[in-house]
């Protein structure tokens, strides 16, 4: 877990490991829903755990989703699904998420937890490079301007 915290620290604005750990332990982890905790622990054991959305970033993301009253969202770059699960737990029951990732295998690491949380029906997973998938989505004019929130956590230079 120590290495995981250091990995998270390298992703954030805070550069004091002690302060970051204090914030996680007193503010972030106590508010983290159980399914997210479970997925975070499962992901921490993965060789590329540093790719996961950090829990403090997730907490901010949940606030933003609530602030804009997001109902239909799109996520580019899913990895094991931490931010995807967070979004699914935050949006309303009739909300929808289009999730795009080139690697279904890593998405399936988190899928049992997503299913157990009862939110899998909110997610439409597309295994693809993002640009072709986004172009395909835009061919349906109903999608134009219909997303309330977008999260890009992949090849950011291209998107």
Cβ neighbours of 42 (radius 10 Å):
18
The helix (H) or strand (E) run that includes residue 150 is strand 149-152
Which is nearest to 71 in space by CA: 152, 148, 125? 148
Q: Mean pLDDT over all residues of the chain?
A: 90
Residue 69 has pLDDT above 90, yes or no: yes
User: In this predicted structure, what is the pLDDT of residue 44?
Assistant: 94
Q: CA-based diameter of the chain, in Å?
A: 50
Contacts of 135 (CB under 8 A, 6+ apart): none
Structure tokens at 23: 């914030």
Query: What CATH superfamily is the domain 2-158?
Result: Vaccinia Virus protein VP39 (3.40.50.150)
Residue linked to tokens 């899913």? 78
Task: Break the chain into its structural domains and give their ranges.
Answer: 2-158
- The whole-model pTM stands at 0.86
What tens digit of pLDDT does each residue of 83-141 get? 999 999 999 999 999 999 999 999 999 999 999 999 999 999 999 999 999 999 999 99
């Amino acid at each position: 877990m120590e290495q995981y915290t250091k990995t998270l620290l390298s992703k954030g604005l805070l550069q004091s490991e002690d302060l970051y750990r204090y914030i996680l332990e007193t503010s972030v982890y106590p508010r983290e829903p159980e399914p997210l905790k479970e997925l975070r622990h499962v992901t921490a054991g993965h060789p590329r755990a540093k790719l996961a959305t950090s829990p403090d970033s997730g907490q901010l993301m949940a606030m933003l989703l609530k602030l804009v009253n997001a109902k239909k969202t799109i996520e580019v770059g899913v990895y094991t699904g931490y931010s995807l699960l967070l979004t699914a737990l935050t949006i309303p029951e009739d909300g929808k998420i289009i999730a795009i990732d080139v690697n279904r295998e890593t998405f399936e690491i988190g899928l049992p937890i997503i299913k157990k949380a009862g939110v899998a029906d909110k997610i439409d997973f597309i295994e693809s490079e993002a640009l072709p998938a986004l172009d395909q989505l835009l061919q349906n004019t109903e999608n134009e301007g219909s997303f309330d929130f977008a999260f890009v956590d992949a090849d950011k230079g291209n998107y």
